[in-house]
Homo-oligomer: A and B are copies of this chain.
Amino acid sequence: MIEGDAPTRRTAPATLHDVAREAGVSLATASRSLNGSARKVNEEYRERVLAAAAKLGYTPNLSAQAVARGTSTTVALLVADIADPYFSSLAAGVVGAAGDDRLIVTMAETKRDSARELELVRAMRGQRPRVMILAGSRDIGDPNAAALEAELTAYEQTGGRAVFVSESDLPFRTLPLANRAGGRDLAVALHELGYRRFTALAGPETLRTAHDRIAGFAEGLASVGAQLPADRLVRSSFTRDGGYDAMRRLLEAGIGDTQLVFALNDVMAMGAMSAIRDAGLEPGRDLAVAGFDDIPTVRDVTPRLTSVRMPLERIGEQALRLALEDGADAASARASSTDVSTEVVLRESTPGPAA
Q: Which residues of B contact A127 (CB under 8 A)?
A: 62-63, 104
Best-buried of A9, A60, A63, A270 by chain B (most CB within 10 Å): A63
Instruction: Give chain A interface residues in 1-41, CB to chain B under 8 Å.
Output: 8-13
A61 interfacial by beta-carbon distance below 8 Å: yes
Nearest CB on B from A6, distance (A): 13
Instruction: Give chain A interface residues in 85-142, CB to chain B under 8 Å.
Output: 85, 88-89, 91-92, 95-96, 99, 102, 104-109, 122-128
Give Cα distance in the complex from A301 to B96, angstroms.
29
CB contact under 8 A between A297 and B270, given known A66-B63, A107-B107: yes
Chain B residue with the shortest CB-CB distance to A120: B99
Give Cα distance in the complex from A319 to B47, angstroms.
40
A230 interfacial by beta-carbon distance below 8 Å: no
A67 interfacial by beta-carbon distance below 8 Å: yes
Q: Is the CB of A158 within 8 A of B107?
A: no
A57 interfacial by beta-carbon distance below 8 Å: yes
Best-buried of A8, A82, A84, A128 by chain B (most CB within 10 Å): A82
Q: Which residues of B contact A271 (CB under 8 A)?
A: 300
Give Cα distance in the complex from A142 to B350, angstroms.
47
Instruction: Give chain A interface residues in 272-300, CB to chain B under 8 Å.
Output: 273-274, 277, 296-297, 299-300
A64 interfacial by beta-carbon distance below 8 Å: yes
Q: Which residues of B contact A301 (CB under 8 A)?
A: 297, 300-302
Q: Which residues of B contact A229 (CB under 8 A)?
A: none
Q: Which residues of B contact A297 (CB under 8 A)?
A: 270, 297, 301
Q: Is the CB of B13 within 8 A of A128?
A: yes
| Other-chain residue from B64, B92, B274 in contact with A67 (beta carbon distance below 8 A) | B64
Give Cα distance in the complex from A100 to B300, angstroms.
36
Give Cα distance in the complex from A105 to B104, angstroms.
10
A343 interfacial by beta-carbon distance below 8 Å: no
Best-buried of A88, A89, A124 by chain B (most CB within 10 Å): A88
Copies of this chain, whole number: 2
Q: Which residues of B contact A125 (CB under 8 A)?
A: 13, 59
Give Cα distance in the complex from A91 to B32, angstroms.
37
A332 interfacial by beta-carbon distance below 8 Å: no
A81 interfacial by beta-carbon distance below 8 Å: yes
Q: Is the CB of B72 within 8 A of A83?
A: no
Chain B residue with the shortest CB-CB distance to A72: B63
Q: Is the CB of A122 within 8 A of B67?
A: no
A196 interfacial by beta-carbon distance below 8 Å: no
CB contact under 8 A between A92 and B96, given known A10-B158, A240-B300, A296-B240: no
CB contact under 8 A between A63 and B299, given known A83-B313, A106-B105: no
Give Cα distance in the complex from A346 to B297, angstroms.
21
Instruction: Give 18 pairs: A residue, B residue, CB < 8 Å, sorted on A.
Output: A12-B70, A13-B128, A13-B158, A61-B67, A61-B126, A62-B128, A63-B66, A83-B85, A83-B89, A88-B91, A92-B109, A96-B109, A99-B108, A99-B109, A105-B108, A240-B296, A273-B300, A274-B300
Nearest 5 pairs between A and B by C-beta?
A88-B88, A302-B302, A63-B66, A13-B158, A82-B92
> A9-B157, A10-B158 are known contacts; what are 11 more A-B pairs with Cβ within 8 Å?
A12-B158, A12-B159, A61-B126, A62-B127, A63-B64, A63-B66, A63-B128, A67-B67, A83-B92, A104-B108, A297-B297
